[in-house]
Amino acid sequence: MLKRKLARASMFANGFVFFIATVNGRNDHHHVDSAVAEVDPIVRQLQAFDSSFTNLGDFPSDILANAPKIRLSPYVAKFVKDYNRKNDEVLQSIKDRSAFHFVMIDSIFTKYHLPVELKYLAVIESELNDKARSRVGAVGPWQFMPSTARDLSLKIRGKYDERRSYSKSTVAAAKYLRDLYGQFGDWLLVIAAYNSGPGKVLYAIKKSGSHNFWAIQNYLPAETRSHVKRFIATHYYFEGDGGVTTLTKKETSAYKNALVDYFAKQREYLEKNKLNGTDVTITTGADSEKK
């Protein structure tokens, strides 16, 4: 299990959501929606980050490319760099064989209106191995304990264990993650609760007086702190950037506000130049601040 294999190397040591797959309800197989590929990748990323960004297609590509980027939290920046450097070989091996599993996970998570980057939990839980078993009895790609699996309607009878079924266990994971988000409203807290259980996260919130993961982390088990940081690092390894699942609720709101402000200024700039009949020179976010 990657969680054990890599923890020794980096135990304690921002970018977007990609909804690239849809579910065809008339077919048991999950297929990538080819229509999505026609959308500008940056527009798709921003729309996936927040569904309110629906009218970006009329912006020039340079303006889209210069949109504010997610910043990696200073609380985890060194960890991400060290972790991905030390574990490059293992992570690349997983990446090389991930395509089939990721298409299936993406389609199920999209059906449940979840950020598809949550699939990286399966990377740090099991290395995408459906036969993975932990020393405490967690099984399958999502590493469910028997009691949690049964609560999520997965059947375990003798050698028959639906925790090892990729499709059934991923549906169970989607329901569990959806319910945790309904409880906490913050993806980093969800990832922490997935590892330690919601009770420990609620305890940390109570002790710290905060709902910010970076403020409550010292009240969480060391394994849970590392678990969240490994998830962020893995997200950056596979995506090359951060996303909604690597940010706290407060960071997500701040980033969305930065995007709204940036595109409002750019739209005003474009309309002003259009009225003046002048050629449009693309401005960067920094240039916009100077105007």
Reported as a single tens digit per residue, the pLDDT across 2-13 is: 444 444 333 333
Domain annotation for the chain: domains and CATH numbers:
2-290 (1.10.530.10)
Residue 138 CB burial class (10 angstroms; 0-12, 13-18, ≥19): buried
Comparison of pLDDT for 281 and 16, the residue scoring more: 281
* Residue 32 pLDDT exceeds 80: no
How buried is 276 (Cβ within 10 angstroms: 0-12 exposed, 13-18 middle, 19+ buried)?
exposed
pLDDT of residue 177 exceeding 50, the answer is yes
Query: What's the pLDDT at 220?
Result: 98
Reported for 75-80, long-range contacts at CB under 8 A and 24+ positions apart, including other chains, are: 75/214, 75/217, 76/229, 76/232, 76/233, 78/13, 79/10, 79/12, 79/13, 79/229, 79/232, 79/233, 80/229, 80/232, 80/233, 80/236
Contact, 170 vs 104, CB < 8 A?
yes
In contact, 141 and 132? CB cutoff 8 Å? yes
pLDDT at residue 256 in the model: 93
Identified catalytic residue from 125, 127, 162, 251 = 125
Look at residue 33 and tell me whether its pLDDT is greater than 80. Answer: no
The DSSP 8-state label assigned to residue 132 in this structure reads -
Cross-strand bridge partners of residue 157: 160
| pLDDT greater than 80 at residue 237 | yes
| 223 has catalytic annotation | no
- Distance between CA atoms of residues 273 and 275, nearest Å: 5
Q: Is the pLDDT of residue 15 over 70?
A: no
pLDDT beyond 80 at 20: no
How does residue 258 score in pLDDT terms, banded at 50, 70 and 90? very high
Computed over every residue of the chain, the mean pLDDT equals 84
Residue 1: the pLDDT is: 47
Rounded to an integer, what distance in angstroms lies between the CA atom of residue 149 and that of residue 143?
9
Q: Tokens in use for 266?
A: 């750019």
Mean pLDDT is lowest, of 49-58, 134-143, 259-268, for 49-58
As a whole number of angstroms, the distance between CA 217 and CA 76 comes to 12
N- to C-terminal Cα distance for the chain?
53
